[in-house]
Amino acid sequence: MPALRSLPPRAMAAAFDYLVLGGGSGGLASARRAAELGARVAVVEHQRLGGTCVNVGCVPKKVMWNTAVHFEFIHDHADYGFETPDVKFNWRVIKEKRDAYVSRLNGIYQNNLNKAHIETIHGHAAFTSDPEPTVEVNGKKYTAPHILIATGGRPSVSHDSEIPGASLGITSDGFFELEELPRRSVVVGAGYIAVEIAGILSTLGSKTSLLIRYDKVLRTFDSMISTNCTQELENAGIDVWKHSLVKSVTKSPLGLLEVTVISSAPGHKPTVSTIPDVDCLLWAIGRDPNTEGLNLDKLGLKLDAKGHIVVDEFQNTSRKGIYAVGDVCGKALLTPVAIAAGRKLAHKLFEGKQDSKLDYSNIPTVVFSHPPIGTVGLTEEEAISTYGRENVKIYTTSFTPMYHAVTQRKTKCVMKLVCAGKEEKVVGLHMQGLGCDEMLQGFAVAVKMGATKASFDETVAIHPTSSEELVTLR
């Protein structure tokens, strides 16, 4: 009988308890929690650790929003008695400091993995046709009984075949590569990324146009927020083009862009206009899942029409032993959601908590607009659809924050409580105004706990603050 030949080293798969594809917020959180629970874990990542949030999302965005808020306060200095002549803004200074901060975070994430004894595999993972789920990275195979796909998403792009010259624009990723503040910016989109970037650019001094398909931004938010945010953008000097689409983009010999826009307001004939001398055209028209190149067809995974991985309430995909969390699933595209779902999954897999899953209801969300937006729970429209109009009571207020008592520049604060049933349970809370970003977390706890309007009323107000308005609504 001939001796059995051993397999060549390249063909043997390195085995782990848990293999995580994607070193972003969700993947890292799940990997570290699994390692804490005793699992032998590896993380595969082909770019910088930290994913979208740390590198081209929430973190650098918040630095730029803080920069813009700083500039707003400088405008108000004279009203508060401070003389600040010749204030100049240097984009490169904050870009260098921001990039250095992000690099420090990349290093911290790597150190955390090292301390947890998690193996980092640098490269692009692709599933193989092996009988047991296996991935190949740089020619080497890896396998595990539990594999998590946490590859995140990327900005959607318009192609030149759809809109001639579309590729002359950038996306939110490109925003963080800008070396100078653009003099003339055009942002396309009506979601929170478009709103935030348009606000930052405009506040810092770039003449900014925002092109939206309908008449309001943030159309999935409560109608009060959608209406007020659109108004605040216009009040801040942003040129909001409603019912508008980009028809084509051309580049001049000087390198500036000319954006041709078609506007079709209801009841009016379409009009074609051009925006000349644009040095920054930014597409913020949605996000796509990072599933290409993973060879998911080898697993037969169920995907939705946009390519998101379909999962159940426990983050299980259609293939046993394969899970997915975060933006790649297309639901609640928020960093803390991916982190929470990833940790819950680790407890289910490696601590035996079979009912461990994330509750996707009442997830608080902030939009870093000017002023910021905070929202949790159902919109008024959703509450009426769920409970019936006769069982929903709405409380609203609109006022000018005390900060603006002495300033020429004004912003509004609007607030809404959506209450349901005889007990007036607070099922939705929506606000836009100075400080609403930091107000929301505590109120979100109350909503999650099932607070009623009476609970709010029984809480003594903190005076003088904007937040006290939420406990004094009538």
d(C-alpha 35, C-alpha 239), whole Å: 50
Query: The tokens of 429 are what?
Result: 């809370």
Name which of 365, 381, 473, 373 is nearest 431 in CA terms.
373
Q: Which residue has the tokens 């100049």?
A: 88
Tokens of 365: 């969300």
Q: Six-digit token pair at 95?
A: 């870009």
Residues, the chain: 474
- Spatial distance between the Cα atoms of 248 and 294, rounded to a whole number of angstroms: 33
Round to whole Å and give the CA distance between 239 and 336. 33
* List of residues 6+ apart from 219 with CB closer than 8 A: 190, 226
CA distance 196 to 38: 41
C-alpha atoms less than 13 angstroms from C-alpha of 85 in its C-beta half-sphere: 0
| Residue 8, preceding peptide bond in cis (omega within 30° of 0) | no
463 as an active site residue: the answer is yes
The catalytic position among 117, 159, 268, 463 is: 463
Q: How far is CA 428 from CA 333, 387, 418, in A?
A: 19, 13, 5
Measured distance CA(188)–CA(171) in Å, rounded: 10
Q: Do 60 and 96 form a contact (C-beta atoms < 8 A)? A: no
At 50 the three-state DSSP class reads coil
Contacts of 361 (CB under 8 A, 6+ apart): none
* Neighbouring-strand partners of residue 210: 187, 240
User: CA triplet 16, 20, 25: central angle to 5 degrees?
Assistant: 145
The first and second tokens of residue 75, run together, are 């405008």
Q: Burial, 320: exposed, middle or buried (Cβ in 10 Å; 0-12, 13-18, 19+)?
A: exposed
Q: Helix axis angle, 192-203 relative to 223-235, nearest 10°?
A: 20
The rounded Cα 472 to chain-centroid distance in angstroms is: 32
Read off φ and ψ for residue 349, nearest 5 degrees: -80, -35
d(CA 258, CA 278): 6
Residues 325, 150: contact at Cβ < 8 Å?
yes
* Active-site annotation, residues: 463
